[in-house]
Structure 1
Amino acid sequence: MFQEYDVIVVGGGHAGCEAAAAAANMGSKVLLATMNMNTIAQMSCNPAMGGVAKGQIVREIDALGGYSGIISDKSMIQFRMLNKSKGPAMWSPRSQNDRMRFAEEWRLQLESIPNLDFWQEMVNGLLVENNKVVGIETGMGIKIKSKAVVLTNGTFLNGLIHIGEKQFGGGRSAEKASKGITEQLVSLGFEAGRMKTGTPPRVDGRSLDYTKMEEQKGDDLPEKFSFSDQTTVLKEQRSCYITYTNPTVHEVLETGFSQSPMFNGRIKGLGPRYCPSIEDKINRFAERDRHQIFVEPEGWNTVEIYVNGFSTSLPEEIQYKALKEIKGFENVKMFRPGYAIEYDFFPPTQLNVTLETKLIENLYFAGQINGTTGYEEAACQGLMAGINAHLKINEKDPFILSRSQAYIGVLIDDLINKGTEEPYRMFTSRAEHRILLRQDNADIRLSPLGFAIGLAKEERVIKAENKQKNIDQIVSDLKVLKVKPKDINEELSRFKSAQIKETTSAYNILKRPEISFKELRELEKGLGNYISQYDQSILEASEISIKYESYIEKEHQLAIKMNSLEDLKIKDSIDFSLIPALSAEAKEKFRKIKPKTLGQASRISGVSPADVSILMVYLGR
């Protein structure tokens, strides 16, 4: 019935979709095995992609030839560039998406790939011979052979759902858990653990009073994720809304704490510290009398609303009673309650940098099975696992991204060297070279690499090269273009910028923090005419290149320096508590573990790249 496949991908979530697409597009014959073909690429949690640091990952996936950016663009209902008030290293694209269209677009994209087949059934075992994976076994006992297997099981491995004192098996609401794989892997010598995550209730948007909430519109000039020409920017957008909890809401929720599986010990797994449940927020931040709630539409036409910020596993009647006390929710109708879910994961220190397991050859893990949380983190792991599975079985060199090349490189390096004791989420603070890893230059950084391995199309590389040429040309031209005091001083005063006393270059004027291309256009007619010939994205990238030139160069040098200091010895006599800039967590971990080298210190869970840089400075390097 089945041929032998090159790569079998188990799981049809964000990691599985990217893994299957990548391996198939590179030439492998791929089988995507999933429990339910109707839930391929399901947005199990919030209907959004990107966000702080996560948006950079989506653009990196796109630049390498993955699909998450394209699918996000096609299903987008709102776009916002977060952190625009901060430096460009912090700018992060985020989209609100139509949940049903997102899944549909992913499935249609996968079905358009000739090398990709599908099989709908639970996979409950691996075929292993001489410490090498050679296929899978399904719940019906069907054995399917392959040269490599990528496991992307999400929250389905022995998934257990909690709502108050009720608990039942499941990998997602109304979907059964997957059994058998954990037990087999443990018998093969793998270490397994338990983690938990949660989701909020979904409600009927028709029952909400939006006049009592703050409207959160999309950007006036929305962008998109993909650098390709396959998608276009939004012409209309749907608004989100913001409201808040209050002391009454907190009092209602507290009446259910005795029935909370999180507080009474029924949940054993560790949850995401950076995305806590509402009961956890109330407990940990007792001094706060309100918490922000984001009211997010699930699509263009559906009335279903995602109540972001209200993740909970309290009894459903407590959830409902508390929701009714939120401003704008007085007449709320609940579609389904929030819940917590526990699931098995495998500490990622058991993986090589390619995401291949150390114990079983040609077996790859990607996504929440590695202890991560988030669609974007899962998708990039799937992409890298799919790429490396294809390269390995074709006896080609592995594809590895360094920490100074991509957020994807930071994520994988963190996972395999530091491991994780809680669901891992990407932040800009995890990347020590974040000024190099901006969302605007992901195409320039990574498209040539994606093309070199046979994934990104050649037109992507040409487009990225032309973009860099335009940036270089603008920088060069602005150094030559001169402006005279009599022509621009009046306008400079209007922009509260110091007047010039002698002729200077437009390049030096643009270096001023208060002057952007927008102001430069108005300073002098000739400058305005020159600037108008370029696309806004090119101008933005050029402005960053000019304004942050010295910082970017320093980061390049620091990247080289960090690599050379991997084996720098740390004296046992160092008292880490005397280094004031270190985070409290880093001080605690350093005191406990006593790292012998800077390299070892950098791989300790909970120690950020910033902590490592501070320690490096303290050591005189």
Structure 2
Amino acid sequence: MFHVEHERNMFPEYDIIVVGAGHAGCEAAAAAANLGSKVLLVTMNMQTIAQMSCNPAMGGVAKGQIVREIDAMGGYSGIVSDKTTIQFRMLNQSKGPAMWSPRSQNDRYKFHEEWRNMLEQTPNIDFFQDMVSSLLVKGNTVYGVKTSLGLEIKSKAVVLTNGTFLNGTIHIGEKRFGGGRMGEKGATGLTEHLVELGLESGRMKTGTPPRIDGRSINYSVMEEQQGEENAGRFSYLDFPLPTEKRSCYITYTSPEVHDILKEGFDRSPMFTGRIKGLGPRYCPSIEDKINRFAERDRHQLFVEPEGWNTVEVYVNGFSTSLPEDVQYKALTKVPGFENAKFFRPGYAIEYDFFPPTQLHTTLETKKISNLFFAGQINGTTGYEEAAAQGFLAGINAHQKINDKHEVILKRSEAYIGVLIDDLVTKGTEEPYRMFTSRAEHRLLLRQDNADIRLTKLSHDIGLASPERLEKVNEKISKSDEIVKFMKSKSVEPGEINAFLQEKGTSTIPQNTKLFNLLSRPQIDLVDLVEAYQPLKEFINGNKKEIIEQAEIKVKYETYFEKELEMVSKLHKMEDQGINPEFNYDTLVSLSKESREKLKKVKPRTLGQASRISGVSPADISVLMIHLSK
């Protein structure tokens, strides 16, 4: 009897239990706790919180925008990334600002340490190391979890962020063994339990390249890739950045390397059918690349350091599950790797996921109330996509148990909105990765204005700090002042024509507004400031991001107006609500396929219904007419 009482009192009843401490779990726990929920973060290994299981980097095309959005709303990913950055670059600067994407190379070990430190300093978060094997469910509502130790821990909501651990299987050539990550066991029992509860599961695959001893690499024959001298940052907050930087390097495979890799195809789990799950289309293994793109005689490899105080190196672009002897033989034929020493070979991992069409837009499951899914369990790939889902799942779990309004980001508001809408509406049959091309309003969803788009929304629910909101308001007001000045101030030909000739753009015959001059593609605000003293005096003392914001507003004002007009029109359809329990069988004019898809997805709005694969415009018209009545 004493044992039972002791066990019962070991844990209080929590508001929210977060299962898994990867990028999704960490953001979920932090968001819910900072909103005021009492959170328990359960992980199988406290030493791998926020582990960078694959490449030691954050951000990139579209992914960098997501990190900035998380930060703008008060999440931790941007702060942790900035504090552990060993190299920072803004990608696509030769293109328009909608394509600019921040990316950092990070110290893998400090990244984990910083995340754990921030979580431990966050009030309302408790930790427990164990494996969750099943849920506590009554009726169709979750009320806690059961662990492998047999402990029952109660809560009002549960967020599952299991990553690649659900029945994880690691493949290296013909070798196969259980694991959620190399050296760590997989999670068993939970998939089967969820299936018993009525949820549908599937199987996916991802992979990772070999890790190399940097002391054995000849960097002199590689192309050095340095970070930016005046490094940027993800977070909109001001704090000191690391001053020490590390270079990355670029090298290439060759036909000889490809021929060696092909020798192992008959022992590859990919080509022999041992791997059933679909892998990421846009981050394929090296064997997949040389098989799919046979016409290419070389592929680029990025040689990335794993941290300041380690010699371990990540070979980005050489993800593989081929036998280790084939991996070694092929890699030593790549320039710079002739004497390479392996720390560990590359491998593929198969794991269970749950098709995300089984979720509401809040990321709560439709079958089980107060149960939320986030990250790779939903079929996504990437730290950033996982973190974004965890962040919103943590917010919505808190909102749900406190009878507060749900937080759903529109496709026109955030890349996070695009990500979640794509998942719950369209689903995914392969690991989902975010791209700028997935966002129809990407001109509005830039990395520079994530704070303007999202900080007030987050502050209103009690998450983003007053400090963040104050900074955003200052950015908006001061950038608007600069734009207003440029619209009001004219410049005479004699004051500016020499500068215009120097820039290769036509001179002006009469007084012209500064706004019109800056609208020209050849003119940058920084140069114009130096050429025209009154403008320099006006904006002197403003922060870099304020000046940048003003320039973007001027150069793209016409495009923004057109885009906002389009968004306004689309919102009329997007905002037309549909009762989740609507009986589509009553609409005999709907096609059979549309009726089945609508009944399965249960869209919340007409706009969401229009994006479901298999639902035709004619069916949307039928639905629209019915709703208007």
The TM-score normalised by the length of structure 2 is: 0.90
Q: How does 1:419-568 map to 2 (within 5 A)?
A: 419-565=427-573
Report the AA paired with residue 103 of structure 1: H
Post-superposition Cα deviations, 1:380-406, rounded to whole Å, max 9, x if no partner, equal 100000001011111111111100111
Q: Give the drift of 1:488.
A: 1.1
Q: Following the alignment from structure 1 to structure 2, what is the Cα–Cα distance between the partners of residues 316 and 63? A: 43
Q: Following the alignment from structure 1 to structure 2, what is the Cα–Cα distance between the partners of residues 245 and 530? A: 53
The answer to whether the aligner puts 1:148 opposite 2:181 as a matched pair is no
The answer to whether the aligner puts 1:226 opposite 2:235 as a matched pair is yes
Post-superposition Cα deviations, 1:445-483, rounded to whole Å, max 9, x if no partner, equal 111111111111111111101100011100001112221
Q: Following the alignment from structure 1 to structure 2, what is the Cα–Cα distance between the partners of residues 10 and 368? A: 13
Q: Following the alignment from structure 2 to structure 1, what is the Cα–Cα distance between the partners of residues 86 and 42? A: 30
Q: Following the alignment from structure 2 to structure 1, what is the Cα–Cα distance between the partners of residues 70 and 550? A: 23
Q: Following the alignment from structure 1 to structure 2, what is the Cα–Cα distance between the partners of residues 533 and 31? A: 46
Post-superposition Cα deviations, 1:400-432, rounded to whole Å, max 9, x if no partner, equal 110011111110000000000100000000111
- Contact map agreement 1:133 1:362 (CA 8 A) in 2: yes
SS in 1 for 2:89: strand
Q: How does 1:100-115 map to 2 (within 5 A)?
A: 100-115=109-124
Equivalent position to 2:102, from 77, 81, 93:
93
SS in 1 for 2:98: helix
Q: Following the alignment from structure 1 to structure 2, what is the Cα–Cα distance between the partners of residues 503 and 301? A: 59
SS in 2 for 1:447: helix
- Identify the residue that residue 51 of structure 2 maps to in structure 1: 42
Q: Give the drift of 1:526.
A: 2.5
- Identify the residue that residue 188 of structure 2 maps to in structure 1: 179
**Structure-2 change in CA distance of 1:113 and 1:453 (3 Å):** same
Report the AA paired with residue 400 of structure 1: I
- Identify the residue that residue 373 of structure 1 maps to in structure 2: 381
The TM-score normalised by the length of structure 1 is: 0.91
- Identify the residue that residue 578 of structure 1 maps to in structure 2: none
Q: How does 1:127-142 map to 2 (within 5 A)?
A: 127-142=136-151
- Identify the residue that residue 338 of structure 2 maps to in structure 1: 330
- Contact map agreement 1:161 1:341 (CA 8 A) in 2: yes
Q: Following the alignment from structure 1 to structure 2, what is the Cα–Cα distance between the partners of residues 210 and 297? A: 12
Q: Following the alignment from structure 2 to structure 1, what is the Cα–Cα distance between the partners of residues 438 and 552? A: 21
- Identify the residue that residue 275 of structure 1 maps to in structure 2: 283
Q: Following the alignment from structure 1 to structure 2, what is the Cα–Cα distance between the partners of residues 476 and 467? A: 14
**Structure-2 change in CA distance of 1:372 and 1:605 (3 Å):** farther
Equivalent position to 2:252, from 241, 244, 256:
244
- Identify the residue that residue 586 of structure 1 maps to in structure 2: none
SS in 2 for 1:478: helix
Q: Following the alignment from structure 2 to structure 1, what is the Cα–Cα distance between the partners of residues 230 and 550? A: 19
- Identify the residue that residue 310 of structure 1 maps to in structure 2: 318
- Contact map agreement 1:491 1:522 (CA 8 A) in 2: no
Post-superposition Cα deviations, 1:289-310, rounded to whole Å, max 9, x if no partner, equal 0000000000012100000000
Equivalent position to 1:121, from 125, 130, 148:
130
Q: Following the alignment from structure 1 to structure 2, what is the Cα–Cα distance between the partners of residues 4 and 516? A: 58
Q: Following the alignment from structure 2 to structure 1, what is the Cα–Cα distance between the partners of residues 611 and 290? A: 33
Q: Give the drift of 1:561.
A: 1.8
- Identify the residue that residue 298 of structure 2 maps to in structure 1: 290
Q: Following the alignment from structure 2 to structure 1, what is the Cα–Cα distance between the partners of residues 188 and 70? A: 31
- Contact map agreement 2:83 2:241 (CA 8 A) in 1: no
Q: How does 1:152-167 map to 2 (within 5 A)?
A: 152-167=161-176
Equivalent position to 2:198, from 185, 189, 199:
189
Q: Following the alignment from structure 1 to structure 2, what is the Cα–Cα distance between the partners of residues 525 and 225? A: 32
Q: Following the alignment from structure 1 to structure 2, what is the Cα–Cα distance between the partners of residues 605 and 219? A: 46
Q: Following the alignment from structure 1 to structure 2, what is the Cα–Cα distance between the partners of residues 106 and 155? A: 20
The answer to whether the aligner puts 1:30 opposite 2:8 as a matched pair is no
SS in 2 for 1:49: strand
Equivalent position to 2:80, from 66, 71, 75:
71
Q: Following the alignment from structure 2 to structure 1, what is the Cα–Cα distance between the partners of residues 81 and 612? A: 33
Q: Following the alignment from structure 1 to structure 2, what is the Cα–Cα distance between the partners of residues 189 and 320? A: 45
Q: Give the drift of 1:521.
A: 2.1
Q: Following the alignment from structure 2 to structure 1, what is the Cα–Cα distance between the partners of residues 323 and 615? A: 33
Report the AA paired with residue 512 of structure 2: T
Report the AA paired with residue 550 of structure 1: T
Q: Following the alignment from structure 1 to structure 2, what is the Cα–Cα distance between the partners of residues 470 and 110? A: 34
Q: Give the drift of 1:559.
A: 1.2
- What is the count of residue pairs matched by the alignment? 580
- Contact map agreement 1:420 1:605 (CA 8 A) in 2: no
Q: Following the alignment from structure 1 to structure 2, what is the Cα–Cα distance between the partners of residues 532 and 316? A: 59
Q: Following the alignment from structure 1 to structure 2, what is the Cα–Cα distance between the partners of residues 228 and 191? A: 42
- Contact map agreement 2:322 2:347 (CA 8 A) in 1: yes
Q: Give the drift of 1:139.
A: 0.3
Q: Following the alignment from structure 1 to structure 2, what is the Cα–Cα distance between the partners of residues 441 and 599? A: 25
Q: Give the drift of 1:600.
A: 4.8
- Contact map agreement 1:272 1:422 (CA 8 A) in 2: yes
Equivalent position to 1:394, from 402, 409, 418:
402
Q: Which moved more, 1:265-274 or 1:518-527?
A: 518-527
Post-superposition Cα deviations, 1:242-264, rounded to whole Å, max 9, x if no partner, equal 00000110011000000010011
Post-superposition Cα deviations, 1:11-38, rounded to whole Å, max 9, x if no partner, equal 0000000001111111111000000000
Q: Give the drift of 1:606.
A: 14
Q: Following the alignment from structure 1 to structure 2, what is the Cα–Cα distance between the partners of residues 60 and 262? A: 36
- Contact map agreement 2:198 2:367 (CA 8 A) in 1: yes
Structure 1, unmatched stretches of 5+, are: 573-596, 613-621
**Structure-2 change in CA distance of 1:497 and 1:531 (3 Å):** farther
**Structure-2 change in CA distance of 1:211 and 1:108 (3 Å):** same
- Contact map agreement 1:404 1:436 (CA 8 A) in 2: yes
Structure 2, unmatched stretches of 5+, are: 1-9, 577-588, 590-605, 621-629
Report the AA paired with residue 326 of structure 1: V
- Contact map agreement 1:54 1:427 (CA 8 A) in 2: yes
Report the AA paired with residue 41 of structure 2: L
Post-superposition Cα deviations, 1:588-620, rounded to whole Å, max 9, x if no partner, equal xxxxxxxxx98655232999xxxx9xxxxxxxx
- Contact map agreement 1:492 1:523 (CA 8 A) in 2: no
Q: Give the drift of 1:363.
A: 0.2
SS in 2 for 1:89: coil
The answer to whether the aligner puts 1:21 opposite 2:44 as a matched pair is no
Q: How does 1:261-272 map to 2 (within 5 A)?
A: 261-272=269-280
- Identify the residue that residue 198 of structure 1 maps to in structure 2: 207
- Contact map agreement 2:425 2:608 (CA 8 A) in 1: no
Identity of aligned residues (%): 66
Report the AA paired with residue 83 of structure 2: K
